[in-house]
């Protein structure tokens, strides 16, 4: 295994161990993913961030937004989300493995990012309400 | 108080009273606001004024004032879908797939929401019955919405945030109140003849017949 492959492997293993929180994903076909495709253990995100950001829209006024970011190792997923697809993400909104998972959505409003350089995909879950 | 302040206050009150719960109104610019504390927000404020130079303005008691109010519209929208299917453990993958396919994109809903908000505000503002925003007639004239501009959705955030704005113009005459005078020293001008020994004041007579 060369250094690049080792970096991808370590990115997942070290971060899941120190920062990982459980998540559940549902793909556009209605299939739930709750276990890690590589290890068979509970599916965990490499990192979940819950920061607030301040933005300056065209009016010049600042709007504070809550922006959760979910980073997942590609090797953890049997199917990797691609831009344009609609997915459901159930994620904890507290930094605890025992926190209740809340439903968020991935859709075209905010595209998926992340790449294969270190083998991860970055999701920007959006709020959803009952229609 | 100058009239532009009363015009702005009256317009804010008008929007608030006729919103019917469809949107919130804030009559001033805030330093910042949180995306999850509002869904539809209207923010009118005095933006600029133009004072054409004239002799009556320089030497007289009235100054013409072309008022511009800026009205900012903001919506904060979530995606919508049938969550009961997603949260139902007995739902099939086909049912879940149908629910997720039917999900309404937050950006599309935000675009629609801002159009609806502008529609509501425009109708209230330009209604002929509201020509003077509830103030007495001839208070100001020619209120008009000259343009509307929609911004791009904010690139970040759990909710989709979309903003827009329009300028509302009107014209009025600002009255100059002048300076209030200071009362001078009062003097008693009553004539008080205390002693008329020489009968100099004379006696009242009777007109002859």
- The residue that leads in pLDDT, A63 or B200, is A63
Torsional sign, CA B198, B200, B203, B208: positive
The token duo for A40 is 């068979």
pLDDT band at A128 (very low <50, low <70, confident <90, very high): very high
pLDDT value for A90: 95
For A108-117, the pLDDT digits (tens) are 767 777 667 7
Query: CB under 8 Å to A95, separation ≥6 — which residues?
Result: A21, A48, A50
Report which of residues A4 and B56 the model is more confident about: A4
Of residues B106 and A60, the one with the higher pLDDT is B106
Q: For B206, list phi and psi in degrees, rounded to 5.
A: -120, 130
ipTM: 0.83
Nearest chain B residue to A29, by CA: B97
**What are A7-52's pLDDT values in tens digits?**
888 878 777 777 789 999 999 999 999 999 999 999 999 888 887 7
pLDDT of residue A55: 73
* Contact list, A109 vs chain B (CB under 8 Å): 79, 105-107, 153, 160
Ramachandran quadrant class, B158 (left: phi over 0; alpha: psi -120 to 50; beta: rest): alpha
Q: Where are the beta strands (DSSP E) in B55-178?
A: 62-77, 79-81, 141-150, 160-175
Mean pLDDT of chain A: 85
Model pTM?
Answer: 0.80
pLDDT at A3 over 70: yes
Cα nearest neighbour of B91 on chain A: A30
Closest partner CB to A128 (pick from B81, B97, B98): B81
Residue located via tokens 């139902």: B88
Contact A109, A103 (CB under 8 A): no
Do the beta carbons of residue B81 and residue B99 sit within 8 Å? yes
Asked if B101 lies within 8 A of A28 by C-beta distance, the reply is: yes
> Mind listing the pLDDT tens digit for each residue in B160-186?
999 999 999 999 999 887 666 677 788
Spans of chain B, pLDDT less than 70 = 178-181, 193-209
Residue-wise pLDDT for B58-90, tens only, equals 777 788 999 999 999 999 999 999 999 999 999
């Amino acid at each position: 295994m060369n250094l690049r492959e080792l970096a991808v492997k370590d990115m997942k293993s070290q971060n899941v161990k120190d920062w990982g929180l459980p998540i559940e994903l549902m793909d556009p076909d209605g299939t739930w993913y709750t276990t890690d495709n590589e290890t068979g253990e509970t599916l965990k995100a490499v990192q979940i961030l819950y920061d607030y950001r301040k933005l300056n829209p065209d009016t010049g006024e600042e709007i504070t937004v809550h922006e959760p970011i979910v980073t997942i190792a590609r090797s953890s997923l049997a199917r990797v989300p691609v831009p344009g697809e609609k997915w459901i993400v159930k994620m904890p909104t507290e930094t605890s493995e025992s926190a209740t998972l809340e439903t968020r959505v991935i859709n075209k409003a905010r595209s998926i990012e992340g790449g294969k350089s270190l083998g991860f995909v970055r999701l920007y879950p959006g709020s959803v309400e009952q229609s | 108080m100058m009239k532009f302040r009363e015009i702005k206050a009256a317009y804010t009150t008008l929007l608030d009273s006729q919103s019917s719960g469809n949107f919130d109104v804030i009559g001033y610019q805030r330093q910042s606001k949180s995306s999850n504390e509002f869904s539809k927000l209207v923010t009118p404020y005095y933006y600029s004024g133009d004072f054409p130079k004239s002799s009556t303005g320089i030497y007289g008691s009235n100054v013409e004032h072309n008022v511009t109010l800026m009205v900012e519209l903001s919506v904060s929208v979530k995606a919508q879908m049938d969550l009961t299917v997603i949260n139902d453990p007995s739902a099939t993958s086909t049912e879940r797939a149908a629910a997720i396919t039917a999900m309404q994109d937050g950006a599309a809903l935000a675009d629609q929401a801002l159009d609806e908000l502008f529609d509501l505000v425009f109708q209230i503002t330009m209604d002929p019955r509201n020509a003077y925003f509830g103030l007495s007639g001839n208070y100001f004239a020619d209120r008009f919405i000259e343009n509307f501009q929609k911004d791009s959705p904010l690139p970040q955030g759990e909710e989709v945030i979309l903003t827009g704005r329009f300028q509302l113009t009107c014209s009025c005459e600002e009255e100059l109140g002048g300076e209030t005078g200071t009362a001078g020293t009062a003097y008693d001008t009553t004539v008080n003849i205390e002693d008329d020994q020489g009968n100099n004041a004379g006696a009242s007579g009777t007109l002859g017949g």
